[in-house]
Amino acid sequence: MPVTTRSDLLKLLCEAAELEHGIACSYLYAAFSLKRDISEGGMTWEEQQKVRRWAAQIYFVASQEMLHLALVWNLTTAIGGTPYYLRPNFPQDSTYYPLKVPLKLEPFGTRSLRRFIQYEHPETTPIEAEVRELLARAGEDEEEFSFASIGELYGSIRSGFEQIDGKELFIGTPTQQMTPEFVHFPDLVAVKDRVSALRAIDEITEQGEGRKGHRENSHFVAFVTMLKELLESRATGSGFSPSRPAMRNPSAGAGHGYAANPNPIGNPLAGRVAGLFDSAYSLMLRMLAWSFEFDSVDAGPQLKKFCNVAIDFMPRVLLPLGEGLMLMPAGEKYPGKTAGPGFGLTRHVMLPPDAKNAETLCRERIHELAAIAGDLLKQPLPDPVKAGCRHLQAIAGPF
Amino acid sequence: MSPAKNDFDVVIVGAGVAGAMVAYRLAKAGARVVMLEAGIRNPARPQIAGAYAIAPIKSPHSAYVQIEADAKAPSPDGAADYEQAFPEADRQYKSGYERRTGGSTWHWLGHTPRMLRSDFEMKSRYGGAKDFPLAMVDWPITYDDLEPWYCDAEREMGVAGSDEEWNDLFDSPRSQPFPMSMIWPSYSDMWIAEKINGKKFEGLEYRVRSTPSARNSSLYDGRPPCAGNSICVPVCPIGAKYDGYVHVKKAVDAGAALWEQCAVNGIDKDADGSVHTIRFLTYGNVPGKVSGDIVVIAANAIETPKLLLIAKLANSSGQVGCNLMDHLSKSTYGLAPEKLFPFRGPPSTSGIESFRDGPFRSNWAGFRVSLNNDGWSRKSSPQAQIIQLVTEKKLIGAELQAELFESVTRQVRLSCSVEVTPDHNNKVELSNNTDGLKIPKPKLTFSPSDYSLRGLAHATKTLRDIFRCIGATNIIDPNDADPRAFDGAGHIMGTCRMGKDPSQSVVDAHCRSHDHHNLFIVGSSVFPTVGSPNPTLTLAALALRAAQDVGKQLGIKKQRQTKP
């Protein structure tokens, strides 16, 4: 049904933001789980090259999901809304969203790839017989995949931007729009009118599903190819095992504000690292959301600083902590399993409109996190976790 | 098309980027095409990367060593692998090439800047000055003639670039956007840009631009985005960087035949001046032949004239083999005042184009500057640097680690690529030496002109000035030892120049031989002058344009262009 009011459009944009965000986390979890070194076992040198290629592709797809979130935020502020960064903690079963999308954190494997293929499947075409057969070969999940395509959600959003009078709709300040000048996303579209809004929506759907008749460059085909390669490699019987035995849907532990039904990490040290991950992740999101909300004319320096630090957090703090957690034991309750980051959105305030106050809050928080990282560094930790802690300290230093 | 009196409609010699693109276009349009490739097919990418990892000496070819292929169809890896007319280092040709299916693009860096409008009009624009080389000519085509084909080549190869930074550079506009947004500049590039943008040297302003490259910044043409493996040279381990094998495969999928390990040693001329029959030797020394209505020579700017000289073809002008060119390259090294963390992402993501054109070109050659992301690895390997710290500074353990972290993270390399002028005396001839199939090897004569050497001097001074602007220390400038010294850029060009006058050139504006109506020559051998950009995009654009002309001559009315 076409969308005809600003409020309905904003609600749908929030749903899109939640989904893009949650799906990006799910992809990152799978990428963190892929082994890096041959010494981890289960792969030959040649297979390691394949595994690293898969990891690179999943990280890339996840980065495009983050770009989609950024585009959704630009669409939101262009029509007078504020960037929505909240989302329910993992896991969420298919009853949570109108689209019936289940959101989970699982290591790389046939089960996660099946879900990723479903996330990205094209809106207008039924899944081809070849892909259906591939999904069947990959094994059955406990949940039946019957959710609607995310492309359909964007179809509704598109209808809102097409139907509602542009003069009334675009009430956001143009200088609120984030561009590559501030945040390092080269394809970030500044939304100022219907044409640019539709361009942003097309960019999101084309990257996911591909253009009609040109699916080969889509996330959908990338995951289908990955699943094919994984099944082929397994069929050789070489004992190929590309991923770490990470637990499913971890949480840092009790008292971290989780509302869902996760698996608390039992190992205390891993729980502390997972807690630091969540706190750093939440601070990063708050800084980004603030940057997308306020006018670059009024808050240019803070905005650039927040964006730089937030983007810096991703490869230098979150990635090594996330990968490193998957080298730490999950706890006695999960024999043979390693831990993982829960991507828990810890309870905290939105950053205030006043730029100086916002900076004060961030500065105090980042130094608190650096102190936690310093304490952790006194413990025996896997190398990636140590690197993440040191990088956090290095970023906090000049803040 | 005519009834099949020959084996194929088109025989293409060479399955590198130019030959493969022509083969793909024509096969897709329905022509019967065969590609003859002297080299072998490469093993899988991980094997190539593995061969490089264990090679004791790292050079582009060290990843591709294969004893039989290197004997039967040798791939020169540098100056020492050629018979050279002059023994002096500053009068030698230094760039090698790869005789493999897919050609030298296997180990190219992937940069694809276009030539400028002025690069096609050097004589008209800058001729007449006292120090301007007499051999500089205008192309028979203009930038505007080639512009649509540039767009076509960019789509075919998958070029990532910034429209904002590259539209209308030196009056050379783009009619279509880049197929992909730019490869994001490295941290080092952005840091240097902040320090130097807007400053001037010799009256020209520094502006760091991202370099367009045939490297995926997103999923494109069924290939993955760049994952920052940083070993584009000698191989992209995941196929994110374009190479000629992409179009070899497309051509074969479109129905073209591919005959590998077939080293051409003769081309027969018919009584009417046409050429149809190509003779070759397999690695087992078994002779073979194949015929086509049209013959396309797509070897490279050394192998193509070698073949034509062996066959005594296309040379009524006496220009075959003459005007051998490259770009003069030179690197300067320094340590930045803070850590810039090289070795992440592609080896080079940005450059400075300001010195490519201007009135100064009446007197000295234009040049590009590249900001590189590969530390000092071109000077000596990281392992050698570690050994030096251990043996000379006696460092070990934590101290060694700390010193490495302090120095390697600050390493910067800047390099230049200087225009070389055509010169009748710089040439490819046939050597008396032969390869493993008794086919003559090339003999090279090369000595850069004073015009180019003056450009090189300005370029190296520019690199020095950039280091001064960023506050670098420990600068290593090879100019201090020998101002005339240069490296090859791997850009083999000239030797079958394109022109309107059959007495002064080998092919016409459509890459068709003046002497033989059904012989086409594609590749950078047809460049009359070379400007300072990396040549692959231009040779690809020319090849796609020539493919249309070959198709017309075959009677193919409409050829489809593909949009990935």
Residue-wise DSSP of B401-424: HHHHHHHHTTEEEEEEEE-----T
Residue B161 φ then ψ, to 5°: -165, 170
Rounded CA-CA distance A275/A279 in Å is 6
A chain contacts of residue B47, beta-carbon cutoff 8 Å? 46
The 10s digit of each residue's pLDDT in B163-178 is 999 998 999 999 999 9
The 10s digit of each residue's pLDDT in B208-263 is 999 999 999 998 998 999 988 889 999 999 999 999 999 999 999 999 999 999 99
CATH of the domain at A187: 1.20.1260.10
A235 touches B: beta carbon within 8 Å = no
Helix A6-33 vs helix A150-163: crossing angle, to nearest 10: 150
A263 touches B: beta carbon within 8 Å = no
Average pLDDT over residues A223-248: 92
Q: Do B224 and A222 touch (CB under 8 A)?
A: yes
Query: Computed over its alpha carbons, how large is the radius of gyration of chain B?
Result: 23
The 10s digit of each residue's pLDDT in A349-367 is 999 999 999 999 999 999 9
> Above 50 in pLDDT, residue A21?
yes
Residue B350 pairs in a beta bridge with: B210, B371
- Residue appearing with tokens 């017989």: A129
Rounded CA-CA distance A261/A111 in Å is 19
Identify the top-confidence range among A119-128, A209-218, B102-111.
B102-111
Q: Please check whether residues A218 and A138 belong to one and the same domain.
A: yes
* A222 → closest Cβ in B44, B184, B219: B219
Rounded CA-CA distance B558/B550 in Å is 12
A44 touches B: beta carbon within 8 Å = no
The answer to whether residues B45 and B237 touch, using CB atoms and an 8 Å cutoff, is yes
Average pLDDT over residues A315-319: 96
Q: Do B218 and A184 touch (CB under 8 A)?
A: no
| Domain closes at, from A194, A211, A244 | A244
B chain contacts of residue A45, beta-carbon cutoff 8 Å? 46, 50
Helices (H) and strands (E) in chain A, counts: 13, 2
Determine the residue of chain A that is closest to B182 in CA distance. Answer: A186
> Above 60 in pLDDT, residue A35?
yes
Average pLDDT over residues A93-116: 87
Query: Rounded to the nearest 10 degrees, how much is the dihedral formed by the CA atoms of B189, B191, B194, B197?
Result: -30
Residue A8 φ then ψ, to 5°: -60, -40
Q: What pLDDT does A121 receive?
A: 80
Q: Please check whether residues A92 and A139 belong to one and the same domain.
A: yes
Residue (of B239, B212, B70) closest to B151 by Cα position = B212
Q: Please check whether residues A165 and A32 belong to one and the same domain.
A: yes
Q: What pLDDT does A177 receive?
A: 92
B chain contacts of residue A217, beta-carbon cutoff 8 Å? 218-222, 564
- Residue B439, token pair as written in the block: 């086919």
Rounded CA-CA distance A4/A22 in Å is 27
- The number of angstroms, rounded, from the C-alpha of A84 to the middle of its chain's C-alpha atoms is 14
A46 touches B: beta carbon within 8 Å = yes
Task: State the Cα angle at A393 between A381 and B403, rounded to 5°.
Answer: 80
Residue (of A115, A116, A154, A172) closest to A296 by Cα position = A172
Residues 112-171 in B contacting A (C-alpha not used; CB under 8 Å): 162
Please give the positions of B annotated as active site: 491
Rounded CA-CA distance B18/B4 in Å is 25
Average pLDDT over residues A126-130: 71
CATH of the domain at A274: 1.20.1260
**Distance from the A115 Cα atom to the nearest Cα atom in chain B, whole angstroms:** 20
**3-class secondary structure for A131-157?**
HHHHHHHCCCCCCCCCCCCHHHHHHHH
A chain contacts of residue B162, beta-carbon cutoff 8 Å? 186
Residues 6+ apart with CB under 8 A from B398: none
A184 touches B: beta carbon within 8 Å = yes
- Residue appearing with tokens 């034509």: B308
Q: Please check whether residues A136 and A45 belong to one and the same domain.
A: yes
Q: Please check whether residues A205 and A280 belong to one and the same domain.
A: no
Q: In the structure, what pLDDT confidence band is assigned to residue B131 with cuts at 50, 70 and 90?
A: confident
Q: What pLDDT does A2 receive?
A: 82
Rounded CA-CA distance A80/B125 in Å is 55
A chain contacts of residue B222, beta-carbon cutoff 8 Å? 216-217, 221
Q: Do B182 and A186 touch (CB under 8 A)?
A: yes
The answer to whether residues A270 and A325 touch, using CB atoms and an 8 Å cutoff, is yes
Q: What pLDDT does B4 receive?
A: 63
Q: Please check whether residues A209 and A320 belong to one and the same domain.
A: no
Q: Please check whether residues A117 and A228 belong to one and the same domain.
A: yes
Residue B14 φ then ψ, to 5°: 110, 120
pLDDT over 90, % of chain A: 65
Q: Do B227 and A60 touch (CB under 8 A)?
A: yes
> Above 70 in pLDDT, residue B37?
yes
**Distance from the A210 Cα atom to the nearest Cα atom in chain B, whole angstroms:** 10
Q: Please check whether residues A190 and A257 belong to one and the same domain.
A: no
- Residue B238, token pair as written in the block: 């995941």
Q: Please check whether residues A234 and A269 belong to one and the same domain.
A: no
Q: Do A186 and B45 touch (CB under 8 A)?
A: no
| Domain closes at, from A222, A244, A266 | A244
- Residue B123, token pair as written in the block: 């004589």
Determine the residue of chain B that is closest to A214 in CA distance. Answer: B564
Query: Computed over its alpha carbons, how large is the radius of gyration of chain A?
Result: 21
Give the helix, strand, coil percentages of chain B, each rounded to 5: 30, 20, 50
Determine the residue of chain A that is closest to B240 in CA distance. Answer: A53
Residue (of B529, B483, B440) closest to B143 by Cα position = B529
Q: How many CB pairs below 8 Å do chains A and B form together?
A: 57
Residue-wise DSSP of B296-316: EE-S-TTHHHHHHHHHT-S-T
The 10s digit of each residue's pLDDT in B339-373 is 999 998 899 999 999 999 999 999 999 999 999 99
Helix A129-137 vs helix A219-235: crossing angle, to nearest 10: 50
A38 touches B: beta carbon within 8 Å = no
* A60 → closest Cβ in B45, B50, B225: B225
Q: What pLDDT does A61 receive?
A: 93
Q: In the structure, what pLDDT confidence band is assigned to residue A195 with cuts at 50, 70 and 90?
A: very high
Q: What pLDDT does A150 receive?
A: 79
Q: How many CB atoms lie within 10 A of CB B199?
A: 12
Rounded CA-CA distance B384/B391 in Å is 10
Q: Do A46 and B44 touch (CB under 8 A)?
A: yes
N-to-C CA span, chain A: 48
Q: Which domain holds residue A12?
A: 1-244
Q: Please check whether residues A98 and A16 belong to one and the same domain.
A: yes
* A217 → closest Cβ in B49, B219, B238: B219
Q: How many CB atoms lie within 10 A of CB B112?
A: 29
Q: Do A53 and B49 touch (CB under 8 A)?
A: no
Q: Do B224 and A53 touch (CB under 8 A)?
A: yes
Rounded CA-CA distance B309/B522 in Å is 16
Q: What pLDDT does B562 receive?
A: 43
This complex has an ipTM of 0.80
Task: State the Cα angle at B380 between B378 and B382, rounded to 5°.
Answer: 100
B402 touches A: beta carbon within 8 Å = no
Residues 423-452 in B contacting A (C-alpha not used; CB under 8 Å): none
Q: Do A53 and B238 touch (CB under 8 A)?
A: yes
Q: Do A49 and B181 touch (CB under 8 A)?
A: no
Q: Please check whether residues A275 and A368 belong to one and the same domain.
A: yes
B chain contacts of residue A64, beta-carbon cutoff 8 Å? 218
Q: Is the dihedral of CA A252, A253, A258, A262 positive or negative?
A: positive
Q: Do A57 and B224 touch (CB under 8 A)?
A: yes
The 10s digit of each residue's pLDDT in A388-397 is 999 999 999 9
Q: Please check whether residues A221 and A161 belong to one and the same domain.
A: yes
A chain contacts of residue B564, beta-carbon cutoff 8 Å? 214, 216-217
> Above 80 in pLDDT, residue A1?
no
Specify the 3-state DSSP secondary structure of A238: coil
Q: Do A219 and B219 touch (CB under 8 A)?
A: yes
B225 touches A: beta carbon within 8 Å = yes
B chain contacts of residue A187, beta-carbon cutoff 8 Å? 181, 218
Query: Rounded to the nearest 10 degrees, how much is the dihedral formed by the CA atoms of B118, B119, B125, B130?
Result: 140
B chain contacts of residue A216, beta-carbon cutoff 8 Å? 219, 221-222, 564
N-to-C CA span, chain B: 28
Mean pLDDT of chain B: 94
Average pLDDT over residues A129-149: 66
Determine the residue of chain A that is closest to B190 in CA distance. Answer: A184
**Distance from the B110 Cα atom to the nearest Cα atom in chain A, whole angstroms:** 19
A67 touches B: beta carbon within 8 Å = no
**Distance from the A294 Cα atom to the nearest Cα atom in chain B, whole angstroms:** 25
| Domain closes at, from A244, A279, A302 | A244
The answer to whether residues B333 and B411 touch, using CB atoms and an 8 Å cutoff, is yes
Query: Rounded to the nearest 10 degrees, how much is the dihedral formed by the CA atoms of A358, A361, A364, A370?
Result: -80
Tally of structural domains, chain A: 2
Residue (of A153, A123, A191) closest to A14 by Cα position = A153
Rounded CA-CA distance B414/B467 in Å is 9
Q: What pLDDT does A212 receive?
A: 64
B564 touches A: beta carbon within 8 Å = yes
